[in-house]
Structure 1
Amino acid sequence: MRTQVGIVGAGPAGLLLSHLLALAGIDSVVLETRSRAYVEQRVRAGVLEHPTVELLREVGLAERLDREGMPHEGVSLRFEGEDHRIDFADLVGRGITVYGQQEVVKDLIAARLRDGGDLRFEVADVTLDGLADTPVIAYTDADGQRHELRCDVVAGCDGFHGISRGAYAPEMFEREYPYAWLGILAKAAPTHHELVYANHDRGFALYSMRSPEITRLYLQVPPDTDVHDWSDARIWDELGTRLAAEGFTLNEGPVLEKGVTGMRSVVAEPMRHGRLFLAGDAAHIVPPTGAKGMNLAIADVRVLADALTAFLARGDERGVDAYSDTCLRRVWRAEHFSWWMTSMLHVAPDGDAFTRRLQLSQLRYTVSSRAAATSLAENYTGLPYGGVR
């Protein structure tokens, strides 16, 4: 079998890349080890930056997003028992949209299948070879048949634990954080119209939502936390304590999902090896505090789609040669912002009083200085594509 671009991974990065390439007349095949049902139901991020929303609209993928997405024009920083709203619309003239990653994936899969896209789920034993000049992806299909897919290039969009990053030896930059998030998805109507980031003496908490009926909430916990030690009642009690503020109420309801997620920063440099190009979590991980993971993946493939189109359609190699450096500028900006939000909002596990005072000082400055609030709003809502130098 032959195609121009072999794409490993059917998450937002791989699926959007396939869609963008198809619009430019470039063929691709998407390979995914999981089932279609699994990738469509896998709950992940829910915040779309302004440039992400604009891109999805531009390429015809925003019909349901515009109908069901929840636009937000700000967030609240809650500390010392008080709310302080960061008004994105006033500060930078744009906002974000809450729309679950799994919903983006559903929209992408539907669009690719509607347009005749080649998506192959439940493949196994995927291997990569010939990455220097003649890539071959070998895999076993759902019926147990072995295949070889010959490509001009390979896009590794298969996440942190996928095979693509392991196909070469990039330089790895990593940081582990001394805390994790205990997250729940609850069937409870949101009581606040925007996200709330709370810094409390007992630890960080995040109040968010996925729909008018579903809330998504998080608590800072130690990385070795066993989710079974946290009953639903204990979680709701702790959320009530950390999110407490005058006039704020917290709806409780059945917990639909519960899990603990560790926090780390990882960057692989370079994001290219011969004719293999990494995108999304295969190349970088950010702590979730800055809401950058899926948005970075989408930014990567926007750059990659243009670069591959120029290369495959016209033989112009300038875009592919610049791909890694171009993407890494945005990646490191997002890493810094995510690190900054994380360090400002999470309570140090050793109870360091000096760090605690620094956090409160930074929070007070951020909500009282228009310049500081603008910097937060600018980064949170998403820097314009091509605007990172």
Structure 2
Amino acid sequence: MRTQVGIIGAGPSGLLLSHLLHLAGIDSVVIENRSRRYVEERVRAGLLEQGSVDTLAEAGVADRLRREGLAHHGIELRYDGTGHRIPLTELTGRTVTIYGQQEVVKDLIAARLAAGTVRGNPPVIFDAADVAVHDVTSGSPRVTFTRDGVAQSLDCDFIGGCDGFHGICRPAIPDLAVFERVYPFAWLGILSRSRPVSEELIYARHRDGFALATMRSNSISRLYLQCAPDEDPALWPDARIWDELHRRLGCGSELEEGEIFQKGVTPMRSFVCETMRHGRLFLAGDAAHIVPPTGAKGMNLAIADIRVLARGLERFYRRQDTGLLDRYAEICLRRIWKGQRFSWWMTSMLHRFDGADPFEHRVQVAELDYVCTSTAAMTTLAENYVGLPFEV
């Protein structure tokens, strides 16, 4: 098989890269080791910055997002039993939109499959095993894999490493420059068939730990509780979860208790691999960086990476100009580290740290009080939350 760009991973990064390249007349093949059903049902982040929504709209894959996404104009911070609204749109003129990552994936897969085969190649290959990249520092890298027990090889000009934190692309790069912080807590998350607590997200700081109330739709709530990193979800029966949510969120009857149909623990980690390029292999999205979910930056940073990479590849094929590809990591990392800073700040301000003394508790409360009473501080939070401007 032969294509111009081989892409590893059918998550938002890989699929969006493939679609943007298709719109620019550049051929690609996406190789995914999971089934189509698995990647379409894999529940991940669900908040899109204004710039991410605009990017998907410009790419022609936002029709369902526009119909079903929930636009939000503010968020609420709760501490000491009192809620304080941060008016995002009033402060920035921009919104955020609740739309599950798996829904973005469904839309992109539909768009890629609708494009059909190019030179006999399918746009996406699912259920690929033993995926490996080769000769990435040469002018002719390739991807090998097996499907249905048959060994195959894909020759290409470039490889997009969009296969997530546990993928094969990053380990294929020697001498990585890696920065990491693992937090001493995690989130116990549930999906519930219940009306959301509020029309906007609620971030709650409580002496016993953080809580977050968000949603996937007007009838599905997404709720989180801070817990130990090695927490066993089996020790959290439904009644205990609802009791703890009522207490930490400070909610009364507005917290509707519905059927909990998904439960899991999400670890909290900050990770940046500054080696985002090796020869003709480019890392993007979770393959290069992970943020704690407090700042809602994961999928949005991935989309920002892909904007730069797609334009760099387009410039190469149109003009044989490698300037943007050569600056890919430099441009992306400026935004990535700002996203890391914001996510770290939100996490530090809202969570209970084991061993924290009364002084640290009061500093956290003072920080929240300042953010919720200063227009300048609220604007700083709002600007980061709705998404910083893309680089031209």
**Structures share fold, TM-score greater than 0.5:** yes
**Amino acid in structure 2 at the alignment position of 1:178:** P
Of residues 361, 364, 370 in structure 2, which corresponds to 1:356? 361
Corresponding residue number in structure 2 for 1:98: 98
Corresponding residue number in structure 2 for 1:14: 14
**1:270 pairs with 2:275:** yes
Of residues 138, 159, 167 in structure 2, which corresponds to 1:162? 167
SS in 1 for 2:127: coil
Within a 5 Å distance, the mapping from 1:196-275 to structure 2 comes to 196-245=202-251, 249-275=254-280
Corresponding residue number in structure 2 for 1:144: 149
SS in 1 for 2:229: coil
User: Given that residues 348 and 355 in structure 1 are in contact (C-alpha distance below 8 angstroms), is that contact kept between their aligned partners in structure 2?
Assistant: no
Within a 5 Å distance, the mapping from 1:170-185 to structure 2 comes to 170-185=176-191
Distance 1:19 1:356 in 2: 47
SS in 1 for 2:210: strand
Corresponding residue number in structure 1 for 2:301: 296
Within a 5 Å distance, the mapping from 1:54-203 to structure 2 comes to 54-116=54-116, 118-133=123-138, 134-141=140-147, 143-169=148-174, 170-203=176-209
Distance 1:375 1:270 in 2: 29
User: Given that residues 197 and 213 in structure 2 are in contact (C-alpha distance below 8 angstroms), is that contact kept between their aligned partners in structure 1?
Assistant: no
SS in 1 for 2:159: strand
Distance 1:314 1:130 in 2: 24
Normalised TM-score (structure 2)? 0.97
Write out per-residue CA displacement over residues 285-339 of structure 1, whole angstroms, 9 at most, x where no aligned residue: 0000000000000000010000011112321000110000000000000000000
Distance 1:160 1:179 in 2: 19
Distance 2:253 2:350 in 1: 19
The offset of 1:248, in angstroms, is 6.5
Write out per-residue CA displacement over residues 6-49 of structure 1, whole angstroms, 9 at most, x where no aligned residue: 00000000000000000000000000000000000000000000
**Amino acid in structure 2 at the alignment position of 1:52:** S
SS in 2 for 1:203: coil
Aligned residues: 385
CA gap of 1:8–1:322, structure 2 versus 1, over 3 A, is: same
Distance 2:304 2:318 in 1: 21
Distance 1:115 1:384 in 2: 31
Corresponding residue number in structure 1 for 2:319: 314
Q: Which deviates the most, 316-325 or 306-315? A: 306-315
The offset of 1:92, in angstroms, is 0.5
**1:377 pairs with 2:376:** no
User: Given that residues 348 and 356 in structure 1 are in contact (C-alpha distance below 8 angstroms), is that contact kept between their aligned partners in structure 2?
Assistant: no
User: Given that residues 188 and 265 in structure 2 are in contact (C-alpha distance below 8 angstroms), is that contact kept between their aligned partners in structure 1?
Assistant: yes
**Amino acid in structure 1 at the alignment position of 2:104:** V
Distance 1:300 1:341 in 2: 22
**Amino acid in structure 2 at the alignment position of 1:265:** S
User: Given that residues 7 and 157 in structure 1 are in contact (C-alpha distance below 8 angstroms), is that contact kept between their aligned partners in structure 2?
Assistant: yes
Task: Structure 1: state its 5+ residue gaps.
Answer: none
User: Given that residues 135 and 275 in structure 1 are in contact (C-alpha distance below 8 angstroms), is that contact kept between their aligned partners in structure 2?
Assistant: yes
The offset of 1:206, in angstroms, is 0.2
SS in 1 for 2:257: coil
User: Given that residues 186 and 216 in structure 1 are in contact (C-alpha distance below 8 angstroms), is that contact kept between their aligned partners in structure 2?
Assistant: yes
Normalised TM-score (structure 1)? 0.98
User: Given that residues 211 and 223 in structure 2 are in contact (C-alpha distance below 8 angstroms), is that contact kept between their aligned partners in structure 1?
Assistant: yes
Distance 1:89 1:180 in 2: 30
The offset of 1:52, in angstroms, is 0.3
The offset of 1:270, in angstroms, is 1.9
**1:49 pairs with 2:49:** yes
Write out per-residue CA displacement over residues 258-278 of structure 1, whole angstroms, 9 at most, x where no aligned residue: 001110100001200000000
Distance 1:248 1:15 in 2: 42
Distance 1:248 1:11 in 2: 38
**1:326 pairs with 2:310:** no
Question: Aligned-residue CA RMSD in angstroms?
Answer: 1.0
The offset of 1:195, in angstroms, is 0.2
The offset of 1:210, in angstroms, is 0.2
Of residues 336, 341, 346 in structure 1, which corresponds to 2:341? 336
The offset of 1:354, in angstroms, is 2.0
User: Given that residues 162 and 287 in structure 2 are in contact (C-alpha distance below 8 angstroms), is that contact kept between their aligned partners in structure 1?
Assistant: yes
Over 2 Å off, 4+ runs? none
Distance 2:291 2:352 in 1: 18
**Amino acid in structure 1 at the alignment position of 2:26:** I
SS in 1 for 2:168: coil
SS in 1 for 2:305: helix
Distance 1:249 1:174 in 2: 39
User: Given that residues 86 and 367 in structure 1 are in contact (C-alpha distance below 8 angstroms), is that contact kept between their aligned partners in structure 2?
Assistant: yes
